[in-house]
Chains A and B, each alone.
Chain A
């Protein structure tokens, strides 16, 4: 145990935790929105994220950009990759909804069944990239780790005086990007007409449908929004880690789901709080002990918090997102 290491660089570790947690939080949004409206854990959401990273790779490959391109090219390629990732992830999420959930909803199946089809979809998506595409298209698909060119190269932007904290451009993009996207989503859900529909269905589906809210459309909307957020997370992830692989979704998904529950599943701001808290807790634990205990710490934090706040830190409610 090395508490000195933690406290001597607390600012640095907190920043590391926030960076890690930002991506968790963005993915957690997808879990939380779907849960808020359908009271359903979308187990395939981790793969929605995974598909986004491949879309980024696809755009970079198609454009032929690589590290060291000019600023305009970098910005253009990154934005294009962002768009592609959001579209790919949202499309995947929507497909999952159509194939795996809608038929069950029509049959009025209980939540446990949705869980299994979700897991099934997750396996299918993983195998599509790990096996099916490999057979049909060959490399880069398959069960190997694939490098994504660092189009956006990490550069030191400035140093926070007094704290000796170096801020890089990627860090700024990840943290600011995540927070901006969350605020935008939060505003959308709270202010827009479509968002009101989402909240209405989340609060009381029956009344909402009496008031003329089309539940099916709201469900489609939350899958699209959640998927798009996962797409944003996918781009930020590739900027930070430079890789993708057919099975990267699993662990991120697990963490994001934990983060969503931690903050109060169904609560948008809860996803942010949960994600950041989880990221920070993991980095602290990895610093005090080592990364092999990070996951245990994450789950212990979850259990302890749920014991004192059985519905998560901010409580669950997409309907009352202002909590």
Chain B
């Protein structure tokens, strides 16, 4: 036994140390939040989405928007913190986050998921725990239409509406009768393009699928050349839209280029350059105008103009804060309040139907035109 005395010493030391320290107390694994007793109002709201990675630029403005709403909120009674959870947009990374939020009773609501994939992967977790979700930007149709859960709400219309609005813009505003539809084969672009195709009917001349990460669109261009479209719709993201546009214009295809809200972002103009002059981005996000000081406040706070879904993020946060103002103190209260909510938001009139969607008549679609590198609101389209 002498041989291993050192081992035993180590074991004994560890054991003693462990006991001593455990006597001092255990860690608060609930994340450091206080007890949510009835008379105390101290809550957390989670925001979950791609805060890092390639797609963060579509998500971060909405988080900032939510932050702004919280800063501007005035309530002496309650203390609210906004906890940011980075999922990188990856459903696999979103589930531990969701479980964490679900298990911590001080979270009374979640802003998100920002993307449809992570929302799909987490909504049953939140549903089981009764945490109300309000998404600022997840637009997949099935989230509310095919597979709805009690707790999921969103302030953006789903792809079906958006597709219809885009098709309407194409036919009514542009008078296009031969639209060439391209998508990026991803969960975002493809269903949207499907919907556009469906609504366009005979007005679509050809459909082509591309890939995320693709830069050479020569095959698509030659298909366009033979199809001779009078408008091109692209369902996808900025990274691919930029080279696609450039190659289209190089090949002498001057048809108007229309993209979905995946292209809506402050960096669109910078990415597409000269080739993107006049390109149109459709977005269910109304330009912020009128007597609201949102744009100015946002710029003062974060040093940049409000980007994609910033107003939606603000609106979502406002709904949760209104719930607390209303006296909601439990997850059930919040859920009940949100279900019955109706009010004027920055982006639209916010209310939720039984599936958690905003009513169709409250939604406004806007076409933004890229002029000199910035997206300028052009026209509102009612679907």
- Once the chains bind, are B215 and A13 in contact (CB under 8 Å)? no
Which residues of chain A are near B219, meaning CB under 8 Å?
13, 16, 283, 286-287, 290-291, 294
Q: Is the CB of B223 within 8 A of A243?
A: no
A47 to B217, CA, bound (A): 22
Contact residues of A between 115 and 167, Cβ < 8 Å to B? 139-140, 143-150, 154
Q: Which residue of A lies closest to B54 (CB)?
A: A143
Chain A nearest Cβ from B112, distance in angstroms? 19
Is A144 a contact of B238 with CB atoms below 8 Å?
yes
Given A144-B57, A150-B273, A243-B243, do A295 and B211 touch, yes or no (CB 8 Å)?
A: yes
B interface secondary structure, majority: helix
- CB pair B243–A292 under 8 Å, yes or no, is no
Distance of A149 Cα from B270 Cα, bound (Å): 10
Tally of chain A residues near chain B (CB < 8 A)? 42
Residues in B neighbouring A146, C-beta threshold 8 A: 270-271
User: B272 contacts which of A9, A147, A251, A287 (Cβ < 8 Å)?
Assistant: A147
Say yes or no for B70: interface residue by CB 8 A criterion. Answer: no
The docked-state distance in angstroms from the alpha carbon of A150 to that of B239 is: 17
A245 near B239: Cβ-Cβ < 8 Å: yes
Task: Tell me whether B246 and A242 are in contact (CB under 8 A).
Answer: yes
Whole-angstrom CA separation of A9 from B219 in the bound complex: 11
Cα-based distance from A148 to B242 in the complex (angstroms):
10
Chain B's closest residue to A287 (CB) is B219
Give a binary string over B71-87; 1 marks a CB under 8 Å from any A CB, 0 the rest.
00000000000000000
CB distance from A125 to the nearest CB of B (A): 15
Residues of A within 8 A of B217 (CB): 291
On whether the beta carbons of B273 and A287 are closer than 8 Å, the reply is no
CB-based nearest A residue for B245 = A242
Distance in Å: Cβ of B259 to nearest Cβ of chain A: 13
**CB < 8 Å: which of A16, A145, A252 contacts B218?**
A16
By beta carbon, the residue of chain B nearest A144 is B267
What's the minimum C-beta distance from A191 to chain B, rounded to whole angstroms?
34
Could you say which residues of chain A place their CB within 8 Å of the CB of B54? 143, 247
> Which of A5, A251, A292 is within 8 Å of B226, CB to CB?
A5
Cβ of A10 to closest chain B Cβ, rounded Å:
11
Query: With contacts A143-B57, A145-B267 known, is A291 near B250, CB below 8 A?
Result: no
Q: For the complex, what is the distance from the CA of A15 to the CA of B57, rounded to whole Å?
A: 37
Nearest first, the 5 A-B pairs at minimum CB distance are A147-B273, A286-B219, A16-B218, A145-B271, A154-B250
- Chain B positions near chain A (C-beta within 8 angstroms): 53-54, 56-57, 185, 208-211, 213-220, 222-223, 226, 238-239, 242-243, 246-247, 250, 267, 270-275
